[in-house]
Chain A
Amino acid sequence: KQEVTQIPAALSVPEGENLVLNCSFTDSAIYNLQWFRQDPGKGLTSLLLIQSSQREQTSGRLNASLDKSSGRSTLYIAASQPGDSATYLCAVRLGGADGLTFGKGTHLIIQP
């Protein structure tokens, strides 16, 4: 059974810092991995999607890496801003027709 763990569970940093969120998964035979952002009381916004054959994806100040063999992904946020405050969720998909398995998220607060 696939399990996804996110560390840390919560993180509070001053504005402007670069930071790294970690995600690990137990079954390395994944189809893809997706990072989402969830604001309080809101739905999920997809940030980055990494296919199993890819090593990383970048979008603006965000960079996500994937190491399938070790079962790890990191989300790097450069020059953090207060608007980045949210819960960040990592999710993996085992097969093309499978549902996503989510971690419990990292609750991020960027202090102005």
Chain B
Amino acid sequence: NAGVMQNPRHLVRRRGQEARLRCSPMKGHSHVYWYRQLPEEGLKFMVYLQKENIIDESGMPKERFSAEFPKEGPSILRIQQVVRGDSAAYFCASSNSVRDYGYTFGSGTRLTVV
């Protein structure tokens, strides 16, 4: 069991480009959560997805950010037209059910916008 896999580990984008962050949950996990950690800030919840459904996106910025978790393949967090303020560590976590006893986190993707 390889755990929660996130790639890339580091991503550099110029302002205005698109960033695509991928997350493969643990085997058997169908719930995926994305969090953002800004410099000197705590982790903030962004979005909760199950296969093909967005359950809670209350933490997602209203513009430029989107997330999906297709039936096949990893979950994708997409940031369009990136700005310097998007520079952060983005973490994905997975669990096997709503009643699961906690999350397993990936190692994160560190996005730098130059």
> A residues within 8 Å of B by Cβ?
4, 32, 34, 36, 41-46, 49, 51, 89, 91, 96-105
Choose among B35, B105, B108 the residue that contacts A99 (Cβ–Cβ < 8 A).
B35
Closest 9 CB pairs of A and B: A99-B45, A43-B107, A44-B105, A49-B102, A104-B42, A102-B43, A96-B98, A102-B42, A43-B105
Q: Does B63 contact A (CB under 8 A)?
A: no
Within 8 A of A (CB), among B10-60: 33, 35, 41-46, 48, 55-56, 59
Q: Does B99 contact A (CB under 8 A)?
A: yes
- A58 CB to closest chain B CB (Å) equals 16
Residues of A within 8 A of B99 (CB): 96
Residues of A within 8 A of B106 (CB): 43
In the bound complex, do residue A101 and residue B91 qualify as a contact, i.e. CB atoms below 8 Å apart? no
In the bound complex, do residue B56 and residue A99 qualify as a contact, i.e. CB atoms below 8 Å apart? yes
In the bound complex, do residue B33 and residue A99 qualify as a contact, i.e. CB atoms below 8 Å apart? yes
- A107 CB to closest chain B CB (Å) equals 11
Bound form: Cα–Cα A99–B93 in Å: 10
- A71 CB to closest chain B CB (Å) equals 17
Bound form: Cα–Cα A46–B101 in Å: 11
Can you name 7 extra interface pairs (CB under 8 A) apart from A97-B48, A100-B33, A105-B42? A43-B6, A43-B106, A44-B43, A46-B102, A49-B101, A96-B99, A97-B98
Choose among A32, A43, A103, A104 the residue that contacts B102 (Cβ–Cβ < 8 A).
A32
In the bound complex, do residue A32 and residue B101 qualify as a contact, i.e. CB atoms below 8 Å apart? yes
Bound form: Cα–Cα A72–B48 in Å: 26
